[in-house]
Amino acid sequence: MDELELLKKDWQKQEQQLPKLSYDQIYKMIWKKSSSIVKWIFYISIMEFAFWIVLAFLPIKSEVRNGDGAKLILFTEWAIQIISLLVILFFIYKFYQNYKKISVTDSSRDLMKKIIKTRKTVMQYVWFNVGLFATSIIVLLVEILIYDPPVELTEKVSSASSGILAWLLIGVFFAVAIAFFGVLFWLFYRVLYGILLKRLNQNYRELKKLEV
């Protein structure tokens, strides 16, 4: 391709026209704060960790504490707390490990891969928490419905012509509500991801495509 060769020959000549920064200008720059995508990812990830930690340890306690069933519920709540604590610790460790490995002196492909991997850890963490949160809600609902049903609700259901249908409707209502929040959450992540990682993912795919 002739034009490219032409440009190549001419390429070094452009140097006289490039800006020239002084020693002092460069010196000042090294103390400025980076606004790189890795920094953004780091801060956002820390926020996500903090958010779910706070949420996991919010004191949501029910008042039913007697009978065999209540014991089972109590145990489930306990188990969920212990598991979530362990998993949070595991994810923080994994996140930190991945984050430390990100190095600007890697090849472009490795650098992108490591950034994506770091983000993936946080994503897994978030989805784990969403799952756990949903489980907790269900446990809470079962608890309320079985051991301490609101009087109004029980009366309405028993006065309905078909009891099973009424329960089914309640079930559907909760399923829809959970799905609605799930979609909302998913959308939020799509946007956040889109802003942050769209270009990176595109570039990574392009490099990866070459290796097939």
Partner 1 sequence: MNKELEHKFVTELENNQNIVHKVCSLYTNDRDSHNDLFQEITIQLWKAYPKFRGDAKFSTWMYRVALNTAITLYRKSKKRVKTQDYESVIFKIKADEYDDTQERQLKLMYNAVKQLGDIDKALVFLYLEDKDYSEIAETLGISEVNARVKMNRIKNKLRTILNP
Residue 68 burial by Cβ neighbours in a 10 Å radius (0-12, 13-18, 19+): exposed
Distance CA 103, CA 107 (A): 9
**Considering the complex, what minimum distance in angstroms separates the CB of residue 36 from partner 1?**
4
Alpha carbon dihedral 76, 78, 82, 87, in 10-degree steps, equals 40
Residue of 131, 156, 192, 206 that binds partner 1 (CB under 8 A): 206
Q: Does 110 bind partner 1 (CB under 8 A)?
A: yes
Site string for partner 1, 69-108 (x = CB under 8 A): ----------------------------------xxxxxx
Q: Which of 56, 58, 116, 117 has its CA nearest to residue 88?
A: 56
Q: Does 161 bind partner 1 (CB under 8 A)?
A: no
Q: Does 198 bind partner 1 (CB under 8 A)?
A: no
3-state helix, strand, coil in the chain (%, to 5): 85, 0, 15
The binding site for partner 1 (CB under 8 A) comprises 1, 3-4, 6-8, 10-11, 14-15, 17-30, 32-38, 40, 103-112, 115, 199-200, 202-203, 206-207, 210-211
